[in-house]
Amino acid sequence: MQLSKSTRFSIIFFLMAFAQTVVMTVLPVEALRLLGDARAVSVAYFGVGLAGFAGRLSIPFIVRRIGRFGVFVLGAAALCLSGGLLVLERVTALVPGLFLNVFAFACFEIVINLYVLDQIARSELGRFEAKRIFFAAAPFTLGPWLGINLQIDVARWIPFAISAAAACMVPAAFWISGLMAEARMRAAVPRSANPLRYLPRFFAQPRLRLGWALAAGRSSWWTMFQIYAPIFAVKSGLGAEVGGVIVSIGIGWMWLVPFWGWVGRRYGLRRLYWAGYATAGAISLAAAALMQWPVLGAVALLMAAFATESIDGGGNTLYLRAVHPYERSEMTAVFASYRDMSQLVPPGVFALLLTVFDLEAVFVAAGIMMLGLAGLTRYIPRRF
């Protein structure tokens, strides 16, 4: 029986998610072990975010040279090389390895989003976003816990090998699915390969600007959670394996994304987003206050993650419904930069905060940010 397009795309997202999450907790713990403190880890991630932003903006040029599928293959190769560098246990290999990890998933994300925009009807994008996230729930739930446990209990290189294998399956599965053949009949040729020309046009459009800001804020909170929750677990004495459990459970709330998607359709994205951002901000502040009691701090982080995950019920629908078809390639590259901003700005800010304050300041800053974003949700059109 022929699977629907949305199901075939969701399977690709499943493989991408598994490749990413099996090293999700491993990476910040490895960085902390090699660099020694949370501030040094923040500086390293800031450098990676800066390089990642430049790398992401280069992807449309690469697409023009080697094609979309070629970029899929490039992403898989970059992730394999990233794992090879990170298993060397050297500070000099850490930042290049982290950059290649970020670049690999930028390749995957931009290309798959272009294919989705070509083949999924705009009226179905909201439902597809919820389905996509639901398919990714299993790897996001198991991956962070599995990766750190395999590294501690089996061998250091195992998570990187599994991630590389899953990454290689992404282009293979896409080829087998038949989606690429269908895309050849639909894809439009982009008018320009330079996304920098589209930056002013992108941010001049209020709906695109709003979608970018909300996505960047949501992603920034998850960046904070994925990096600093494991560091909190290690430094508080709970241990790296407990850090993996915290991240797995926190991200595992995405099993509820179909429910939150229904809430968004029933009551509107505006209300869903306001409640999610405001609640996540308030609980993040509470988590910072409770961190002198590690177990209570960990529970508060999980509740803040629950609130943040509710926002994913709407996915990137605001952007997907606003972008013009003839600008998809460059506009998608610009929009997708929210991930690089979320990997660049928070570690930079946290590095400054950690020169003066303790680790709790990271969670205070994240809470204030989410409360500010809750205020921005009033600009979402009421019909959404």
Q: Which stretch of DSSP H or E encloses residue 106?
A: helix 91-119
pTM: 0.81
3-20 pLDDT per residue, tens: 777 778 888 888 999 999
Using pLDDT thresholds of 50, 70 and 90, give the confidence band for residue 74: very high
pLDDT of 12: 87
Whether residue 93 is predicted with pLDDT greater than 70 in this model: the reply is yes
The angle at the Cα of 377, spanning 372 to 383, to the nearest 5 degrees, equals 180
Give yes or no for a contact between 164 and 23, defined as CB atoms under 8 angstroms apart: no
Does the pLDDT value for residue 175 go beyond 90?
no
Q: Count how many residues are written for the chain.
A: 384
Q: Which helix (DSSP H) or strand (DSSP E) does residue 299 occupy? A: helix 294-311
* Nearest-angstrom CA–CA distance, 292 and 294: 6
How confident is the model over 32-43, as a mean pLDDT?
Answer: 89
Q: Which of 116-130, 158-172, 300-314 has the lowest mean pLDDT?
A: 116-130
Helices 294-311 and 257-267, axial angle in degrees (round to 10): 50
Could you read off the pLDDT of 341-368 as tens digits, one per residue? 887 888 889 999 998 888 999 999 999 9
Are 314 and 211 in contact by the 8 Å Cβ rule? The answer is no
Contact 17, 143 (CB under 8 A): yes
Domains of the chain: 5-186+201-379 (1.20.1250.20)
